[in-house]
Amino acid sequence: MSAELASPIQREFNPWLAAEARFDEAAERLGLDEGICKILRTPARELTVHIPVQLDDGRLEIFTGYRVQHSIARGPGKGGIRFAPDVTLDEVRALAAWMTWKCAVVNIPFGGAKGGVVCDPAVLSDGELERITRRYTAELVEFIGPESDVPAPDMNTNAQTMAWIMDTYSMHKRHTETAVVTGKPLDLGGSRGRPEATGRGCMIVTWEALRKLGINPSNTNVVIQGFGNVGGMAARLMSRAGMRIVAIIEYDGAIYNPHGLDVDAVARHRRETGSILDFPEAENMDRDEALLLECHVLLPAAKENVITSQNADKIRAQIICEGANGPTTALADKILEERGIFVIPDILANAGGVTVSYFEWVQDRQGFFWNAQLVNGRLEEIMVNAFRDVVGYAEKHKVNNRIAAYMLAMDRVAFAVKLRGIYA
Ligand code: GLU
């Protein structure tokens, strides 16, 4: 999409422009020089592939895939691969940049990358998905690797997808290379704690935010949007930690119980009926209305552009913990800031996933695996430190948490770029 020609709403929802808006503000506050800014804003490498894949009915279809390495200044590119019918290069670019900042916020030695394949997993068989994944990986063999760029799961991809990528890459290299991707099954070099890591990270930073605002976590109402890997895990872990999950919002509607939902029972109900709706111990609710419920914590853990200039003034949460990437638009940021809502920005809130990906990569390279206690303990240490770094930075520089997270991250990446110097 041409950013210049877009309507105001398209501009607000364009993920690349959203990332740019935050980047520009943080760069100005940091007083970054123009040359460094140019480097930090430009993706280092972008690859587009058009891959032929045979469908189950014998037809040949061409699928388009992307992989963008935004920065490798602090280490190999790192970031997920998403499968969705509406993936665009702009979106993958923005998400790759977000990964650079995310890895820098939690201070792990990676740059940022992201991939996507334009396809609709809902209408593809497992065999078709496997063939798409393998052919896409084959096109990327020279581009990815444990030392250069390490993919992971993202929207509509999972541990099985990673196993196919690992196998395809290894077949080309003629030896097994587990460290080429993270988020793999446990038996193929995956890490303990990886599936729940993003949700656990959300729980840890929410806990810190509650303490910071003087709210007792065991007397806390939480509204969660999205009941997938991130939202579902966060719901389970938060409710185990004593928080009350009063509403869960999915694409087909929401359920609400002011006394708290039994999260495991909701998961069972969805498995049996295919939907969270009509859960016996809750009332059904309109999903847009549920987003505006009064609560201590709102956790958007589904998709981009959920909190926008259209609804930010009506949100009644004290804390927003961004489990998803980019759930709040740049215009909404301003409104939330004016209203004093404490936002835990995505590049901090959902960094638990990539942090345990880092642990997985380390374990694969050492061939020595940690127990769950070690993984979770180290995750907690990193998330708590990053939370305190960001909030401390926000207070010191009198900016909101998101801009503080960007400033902190960009400062770290800029420092690496300067130390390395420019190769000519
Ligand atoms: N896709 C996840 C994210 O957006 C995880 C990335 C990773 O583990 O590399 O953070």
Segments making up each domain of the chain, as ranges: 1-32+193-350+374-424, 43-177
Task: Round to whole Å and give the CA distance between 91 and 70.
Answer: 12
Q: What is the pLDDT of residue 9?
A: 87
Residue 325 Cβ < 6 Å to ligand 1: yes
Q: Write down the CATH number for the domain with range 1-32+193-350+374-424.
A: 3.40.50.720
Give yes or no for residue 80 CB within 6 A of ligand 1. yes
Measure the CA–CA gap between 152 and 154, rounded to whole angstroms: 7
Q: Is the CB of 239 under 6 A from ligand 1?
A: no
Q: What is the pLDDT of residue 1?
A: 44
Question: For residue 175, what are the CA distances in angstroms to 171, 213, 335, 361, 412?
Answer: 7, 52, 53, 17, 35
Region of 214 on the Ramachandran plot (φ > 0 left; ψ -120 to 50 alpha; else beta): left
Whole-Å CA distances, 68 to 215, 257, 364: 41, 43, 24
The candidate with the shortest Cα–Cα distance to 95, out of 182, 185, 18, is: 18
What's the 155 CA to ligand 1 centre distance in angstroms? 10
CB-ligand 1 contact for 353 (6 Å cutoff): yes
Instruction: Report the alpha-carbon distance of residue 331 to residue 310 in Å, rounded.
Output: 9
* pLDDT given at position 24: 95
Residue 229 near ligand 1, beta carbon < 6 Å: no
**Probe target for ligand 1 pocket from 69, 357, 359, 364, with the most ligand atoms within 8 Å of CB:** 357
CA 323 to centroid of ligand 1, rounded, Å: 11
Short-list 348, 311, 353, CA closest to 328 = 311
Distance (Å, whole) CA 238 – CA 245: 8
Ligand 1 centre to CA of 154 (Å) is 6
CA 325 to ligand 1: nearest atom: 4
Q: Kindly name the residue from 78, 102, 114, 184 that is annotated as catalytic.
A: 114
pLDDT per residue, tens digit, the chain (424 aa), is 444 557 888 899 988 888 899 999 999 999 999 999 999 999 999 999 999 999 999 999 999 999 999 999 999 999 999 999 999 999 999 999 999 999 999 999 999 999 999 999 999 999 999 999 999 999 999 999 999 999 999 999 999 999 999 999 999 999 999 999 999 999 999 999 999 999 999 999 999 999 999 999 999 999 999 999 999 999 999 999 999 999 999 999 999 999 999 999 999 999 999 999 999 999 999 999 999 999 999 999 998 899 999 999 999 999 999 999 999 999 999 999 999 999 999 999 999 999 999 999 999 999 999 999 999 999 999 999 999 999 999 999 999 999 999 999 999 999 999 999 999 8
Specify the pLDDT at position 75: 98
Amino acid symbol at 194: R
80 alpha carbon – ligand 1 mean position (Å): 5
Catalytic site includes residue 314: no
Q: Where do we find the tokens 């935050």?
A: 22
Domains 1-32+193-350+374-424 and 43-177 share a fold: yes
**From the CA of 93, how far away is ligand 1's center (Å)?**
14
**How far apart (Å, rounded) are the C-alpha atoms in residues 338 and 334?**
6
CATH 3.60.20.30 fits 43-177, yes or no: no
Q: What is the pLDDT of residue 4?
A: 56
Sequence-ordered list of residues with C-beta below 8 angstroms from that of 263, at least 6 positions apart, any chain:
232, 235, 236, 239, 245
